[in-house]
């Protein structure tokens, strides 16, 4: 009996858990192994089972930037909750577990009269995902306010703290490997006022409602922005709004969003991404790089 199977007997690990419900696209097949970890003791048990393992690992946050293959993910999916969804604000320093939703953190920081993290309200991900991708919007990025992050290597069991420089954070990039699990992050801001901060939160949320396809199945920006132009503007300029494959189409409201219907498959999303990328290259010579993570595909 493998270590993971032993943890399954304890209820920490489950088999063949559908991943679609954990993503904003609501598509995708099951994970061979799925662990929802609520505390550090259980995380220690899971890490112990993976030391030296070659099993592929996927760290799952809020699923807002992820497409899982229809066949599923043939490895271990780790999702943090419980104590990893807690945060603390003390003496101007914000310490947040990786499962804390970014909009919730943004509002709490504003209430504490701290400025600089308001942009998080416009990102439907988690703290862990923000560190991993250096998430950003409205001219700000995670690296602007991140002090350090706690990282656990699921394959070696080693734990470390890393600064933005050590993480090599750049536009939608970090040097974190698939088996690196962000457990906690510390942020700093500047003295601010709750009144001013709330006005900024309102401005950001209103802009999103006016310019992005809310109330639909989507995963936010599909492509990273190339130099000198936004991906959405480029796709729009080339007349690709409304382009579709299966039950997935390029949003007519924001061309860097793909909107899925109830019959959409993950394969449809991947193929539309590839079609748009190909069309943009043939029409403009620009190579678009996906911002969304595609996992489990052959």
Question: Of the residues 172, 174, 184, 208, which is catalytic?
Answer: 172
Active site residue 170: no
Residues in the chain: 298
CA dihedral 185, 179, 78, 49 (to 10 degrees): -120
Would you state the structure tokens that stand for residue 141, as one six-digit string? 């990025």
Chain-centroid distance of CA 47 in Å reads 22
Note if 172 is an active site residue. yes
DSSP 3-state of 94: strand
Helical H segments across 51-126, by residue range: 102-111
Active-site residue among 49, 64, 98, 221? 221
Give dist(CA 26, CA 165) in Å, integer: 35
Nearest to 98 by CA among 223, 160, 184: 184
- Radius of gyration for the alpha carbons in the chain, expressed in angstroms and rounded: 19
Residue 291: which residues within 8 A CB-CB, separation 6 or more?
Answer: 65, 133, 172, 220, 221, 222, 223, 224
Is 266 designated active site?
A: no
Rounded-to-integer distance, Cα 286 and Cα 227, Å? 9
Question: Helix H segments across 163-255?
Answer: 194-211, 231-237
The residues that are catalytic are 172, 221, 291
């Amino acid at each position: 009996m493998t270590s993971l199977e032993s943890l399954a007997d304890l209820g920490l690990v489950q088999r063949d858990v559908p991943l679609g419900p954990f993503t904003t696209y609501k598509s995708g097949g099951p994970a061979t192994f799925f662990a929802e970890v609520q505390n550090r003791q259980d995380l220690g048990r899971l890490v112990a089972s993976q030391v030296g393992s070659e099993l592929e690992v996927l760290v799952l946050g809020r699923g807002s930037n992820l497409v899982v293959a229809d066949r599923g993910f043939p490895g271990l999916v780790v999702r943090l909750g419980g104590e990893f969804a807690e945060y603390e604000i003390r003496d101007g320093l914000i310490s947040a577990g990786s499962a804390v939703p970014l909009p919730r953190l943004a509002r709490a920081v504003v209430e504490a009269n701290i400025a600089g993290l308001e942009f998080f309200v416009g990102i439907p991900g988690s703290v862990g995902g923000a560190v991993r991708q250096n998430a950003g919007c409205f001219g700000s990025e995670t690296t602007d306010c991140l002090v350090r992050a706690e990282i656990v290597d699921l394959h070696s069991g080693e734990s470390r703290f890393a600064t933005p420089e050590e993480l090599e954070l750049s536009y939608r990039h970090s040097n974190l490997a698939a088996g690196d699990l962000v457990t906690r992050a510390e942020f700093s801001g500047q003295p601010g006022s709750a009144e001013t901060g709330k006005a900024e939160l309102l401005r950001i949320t209103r802009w999103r409602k006016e310019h992005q396809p809310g109330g639909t199945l989507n995963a936010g920006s599909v492509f990273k922005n190339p130099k000198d132009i936004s991906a959405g503007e480029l796709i729009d300029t080339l007349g690709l709004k409304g382009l579709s494959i299966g039950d997935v189409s390029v949003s007519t409201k924001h061309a860097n969003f793909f909107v899925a219907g109830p019959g959409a498959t993950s394969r449809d999303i991947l193929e539309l991404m590839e079609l748009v990328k190909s069309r943009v290259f043939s029409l403009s010579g620009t190579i678009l790089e996906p911002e969304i993570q595609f996992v489990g595909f052959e």
